[in-house]
Amino acid sequence: GRDRFIEEHWGDEDSTNGKYTKPPDAALRQKLTPLQYEVTQEDGTEPPFRNKYWDTDKEGIYVDIVSGEPLFSSTHKFKSGTGWPSFTQPLVPENIVKKKDTKLLMTRTEVRSKHGDSHLGHVFNDGPPPTGLRYCINSAALRFIPKEDLKKEGYSDFLKLFE
């Protein structure tokens, strides 16, 4: 029934032990830059090629700027030529929610974070192998954690990606 559907599509809420949560709006307005707030809370889009991570090639992971939940890895990042960070797949698929987006007179698939409910970007079917997907993500929705800081920042589970 309903509970099984929720479990299958949303995962087990207890698996993160409430580690990743969305702060109240007042706290977000203090924590985030105006662009980060516009992108994550108002479904905005930052300019291509003029954003923090579009050409970053360092090893590490990308987490939600709002909740800290792990979203993407440099191991799945590729140069798409679009001017935004692009990934072939999420690092933790359970932390990604896909929604139908018909705002621009076309149907796209919006990508949001599960726990922070942040607008991240969109996913398209024009990516490279092995997935054929291109997760086109706003830098303003992300915080990059370099490989050497993963343990210090509490993400040591992901160190194995870079061995």
- pLDDT tens readout for residues 51-65: 999 999 999 999 999
Q: Which two tokens stand for residue 26?
A: 């007042």
Report pTM.
Answer: 0.88
Residues β-bridged to residue 143: 63
In which order are the strands placed within the sheet that holds 96-101? 77-78, 86-87, 134-137, 119-124, 108-113, 96-101
In the chain, where the domains are located = 21-162
Active site residues: 136
Instruction: Kindly tell me if the per-residue pLDDT of 13 is higher than 60.
Output: no
pLDDT at 2: 56
Instruction: Kindly tell me if the per-residue pLDDT of 12 is higher than 50.
Output: no
As a whole number, mean pLDDT of residues 9-35 equals 79
Considering the segment(s) 21-162 as one domain, its CATH architecture is Beta Complex (2.170)
Share the mean pLDDT of the chain: 91
- Residues with Cβ within 8 Å of 32's Cβ and at least 6 positions away in sequence, in order, are 40, 41, 65, 66
